[in-house]
Structure 1
């Protein structure tokens, strides 16, 4: 349904998803196909392990009973570090079974101060579950830690326990207390919160978004349709489990097997990621794959095609505006190319499945069933079709707000439920949508949202930097990359290479990986001073023009 001539679309609800919780969904599959591999884990060194539907349900149920023995109140928040290992699945499903709420966060890539601010902002976080290698880092905000997991932190007053994730796999005890019987597990409804997901943190602090079981199950159904995976078939996705486009409800919906990488953040280049991906696609006989556009571009540019791998049934992507170049996977690498569009706050909104190379730049297809889309101008008036404006979206599942930034939630969602995406685009005559970029200064780099001011803030702390301006530059592979304009302090020197090192070390132990360096500018230009307006403020237009001139001269 659409308003004639206006950029408003409503697609009636047609998808009938079961009113069921995620643990109950897992239980049904554990009974239907107990020995089917739910997830297959592959590592860079060639190791392979897997967990079946039955094993996952049994271990998660045991973990849920153990967690209840600690006396955590229903609805308490347990922070779970993102890591693609069986332990993460067991912890997440187990917490959901116990009526607890997992908060998914990238502990290994956060500073201790950010962890403290995040958990205090969310509130009611009573425990953290970490990879064993990160337990030592937690001592920077925990004064006391006992062998049974009990912890004391004056910086996070609600925190009572810190657990190593891998201790939940074996039969070793988590507590000496009696484990409750199965009948003591609480009843979980489809409308309960299944987890808390974090936004990109492009401004430096991620915002926390709660999602219900039913919403995540419905998104899993839509993702499954895009990937076109049938029961028992395998598909590849190396993204973190906690990302909505990578969440377990996708393989629950398909009744298939997901193949993933355990150490994606250890890979230092697109080429290394794709070399690994190709090996796994062949060894596991995957029928479809989810890949980010930088990886798709690299596959297209490779002269040789592995006939034992390609063409896949579908290659799916999401996370950033997609260049039409990526549609060249069709025929050579895949039979179909699928694009998804959404955001953490409200999830999956639009999708497109194409089977020809005639794909328009940044096209995201039609809204999903139950979705309203409108394009508005600065006065929030709906614009005519074909006119660019900000994209607003409204779904049956309303945005539940940010747990740690309520005032920001009010700014991005009005009283009638329209969510302001901060994305810019337009509606075509056939009621499909094209997303052309961001309204704010946020850059979109390789699927990640990166704030220029965030990068500028880090660079300004360098002893040699007097002023800095980050300018987004178009990039066919990653959509955009940053160009850093630098003014040095008097009698100070520094090279672009040194500034790259300065920025990357902010990402801790994964600082050299490709995914950790997306925020690092590709180009550094040095200026004696920046142009200013008559009032003394930075003349952004003049500076951008000069940056463009210099870059064109370098080409």
Structure 2
């Protein structure tokens, strides 16, 4: 037991580390390595000392409970230090996409009422063109101390008294902003209709899907401005698992790290697995991946062919998850279920209810495609510093409109078939791009495909495919159209095909279809 001074009341109080917290592992396993990041190896004790020092500096700057700390970093271990420091002070941590422009950064700083910014930009001063506009108490940079930014090393090298966290730092994630301005979500906050017991049982259901132990070695390749990246860090810390960070995704580098560090667990998006699959067989065979016990996949629908490739190369260890920033995790498909329902995203977690509805909001029977509405114990009621959600997004029963198209089968398995906003209406017929993309991706030369609707005088919209080939592959457009012809009904077949070097994606690897679709609709009164 450690004596700590309560600064608010000025009296000594007895403090014990919360089990699973950084302070707990620093006391129990101080010299054990907790994090690997390139050549850097950080023990639990050093991690905790750095977090104490940073918390001290943040406190001196006037940050405390409820302060929003914006963190714009590559996939690097310092995220874990900042998250721990925020937990010690009760600050909220906001993961910010490193690809956002200064104007986009400025919008989020203002919208979130941020009080601190920590970044690893080469020119951090360029983020704040008019710093006076942003009332930040603290600005921290990793590589320079220009424009009012303090140097990271100066802050974490100070000697500081121990601090103890009571719970994890609240996490804020901003949506990608593919339509309109990005919107902030406080992740994991209990919904008004749910009890603490339901929240606890729901979280247990989510974590038990991929239960970890202290001997796990977790590879992290997902960014911290998406819910999955911070969730992986939190889960690893809770069980005392070793974390291995990879700052820039490279498929062969992933295999090399799995081999070198004996990685047991890795969660990635379909694009990352597709890039692994595009490596020559002799390159894949060069690395020992037998240490893997769990592979996770999510963020967008996955084709059965890709799932089968993963199982063939790594064994029956694939977990698939489906969720959203606004609702948390919704369902999971475990390895044993992959052979039973390979096209499914799995069964709902405990205390999760899913309804499939038509455009008028009426529930649809099993086996019928419609819009996916979800109620979970962490479904949001409003975005950060915004009004309550309207009935078109959150109904009176607490169901959230995900924007996905899908169906349920008679046993409750969830099948996600596309996005409502991606749907193409041609001659009055609804066409779902995901089905067409899956057919195109069956061609051995195709790495990935995006299908969008473009203007058509007669039918309103026509189907257009944009295709990315595997490295070194070649394919004629006519040959591809001929290949998919027997796989798709005539009205679903692409009318035109473009073959590009690379499809536009965000940092999570999700396709940015708007960038492909919008140029065709410029100047038109209607977008469908």
Asked if TM exceeds 0.5, the reply is: yes
Q: Is the 8 A contact 1:350 1:366 kept in 2?
A: yes
Say whether 1:35 aligns with 2:31. Answer: yes
SS in structure 1 at match of 2:36: strand
Normalised by the size of structure 1, how large is the TM-score? 0.67
Displacement of 1:382 after TM fit? 2.1
SS in structure 1 at match of 2:437: strand
- Separation (CA, whole Å) in 2 of partners of 1:486 and 1:300: 35
Query: Could you tell me which residue of structure 2 aligns to residue 78 of structure 1?
Result: 69
Query: Could you tell me which residue of structure 2 aligns to residue 135 of structure 1?
Result: 124
Query: Could you tell me which residue of structure 1 aligns to residue 235 of structure 2?
Result: 250
CA separation of 1:231 and 1:74: change in aligned 2, threshold 3 A? closer
User: Cα deviation per residue 1:180-213 (whole Å; 9 max; x = unaligned)?
Assistant: 855xx687457xx612111122125221001358
- Separation (CA, whole Å) in 2 of partners of 1:27 and 1:321: 38
Displacement of 1:294 after TM fit? 2.4
Structure 2 residue aligned with 1:233, among 216, 232, 252? 216
- Separation (CA, whole Å) in 2 of partners of 1:72 and 1:332: 49
Structure 2 residue aligned with 1:25, among 14, 21, 25? 21
Structure 2 residue aligned with 1:403, among 384, 399, 403? 384
Query: Could you tell me which residue of structure 1 aligns to residue 500 of structure 2?
Result: none
- Pairing of 1:259-408 with structure 2 (within 5 A): 259-264=244-249, 273-300=250-277, 302-304=280-282, 305-306=284-285, 308-310=288-290, 312-328=292-308, 329-355=310-336, 358=339, 360=341, 362-406=343-387
Q: Is the 8 A contact 1:482 1:522 kept in 2?
A: no
Q: Which moved more, 1:423-432 or 1:300-309?
A: 300-309
With CA pairs under 8 Å and 6+ residues apart, which has the higher RCO, 1 or 2?
1
Displacement of 1:56 after TM fit? 1.7
CA separation of 1:96 and 1:356: change in aligned 2, threshold 3 A? closer
Say whether 1:113 aligns with 2:103. Answer: yes
SS in structure 1 at match of 2:295: strand
> What count of residue pairs does the alignment treat as equivalent?
433
Q: Is the 8 A contact 2:321 2:332 kept in 1?
A: yes
Displacement of 1:285 after TM fit? 1.0
> Gaps (5+ residues) in structure 1?
1-19, 43-47, 143-152, 265-272, 444-470, 488-495, 497-510, 541-555
User: Cα deviation per residue 1:461-514 (whole Å; 9 max; x = unaligned)?
Assistant: xxxxxxxxxx98625378752569699xxxxxxxx9xxxxxxxxxxxxxx9998
CA separation of 1:339 and 1:199: change in aligned 2, threshold 3 A? same
Displacement of 1:321 after TM fit? 0.8
- Pairing of 1:457-536 with structure 2 (within 5 A): 474=437, 476=441, 480-481=449-450, 518-519=511-512
> Gaps (5+ residues) in structure 2?
1-15, 144-149, 191-195, 425-432, 457-465, 467-503
User: Cα deviation per residue 1:389-439 (whole Å; 9 max; x = unaligned)?
Assistant: 221211223415211543656642223321111111111111111111111
User: Cα deviation per residue 1:90-120 (whole Å; 9 max; x = unaligned)?
Assistant: 12220221122122111x3111111122222
Q: Is the 8 A contact 1:224 1:253 kept in 2?
A: no
CA separation of 1:221 and 1:252: change in aligned 2, threshold 3 A? farther
CA separation of 1:96 and 1:111: change in aligned 2, threshold 3 A? same
Query: Could you tell me which residue of structure 1 aligns to residue 112 of structure 2?
Result: 122
Say whether 1:94 aligns with 2:79. Answer: no
Q: Is the 8 A contact 1:199 1:206 kept in 2?
A: yes
SS in structure 1 at match of 2:307: helix
- The root-mean-square deviation of aligned C-alpha atoms, in Å, is 4.1
- Separation (CA, whole Å) in 2 of partners of 1:296 and 1:350: 21
- Separation (CA, whole Å) in 1 of partners of 2:437 and 2:373: 24
SS in structure 2 at match of 1:295: helix
Say whether 1:205 aligns with 2:181. Answer: yes
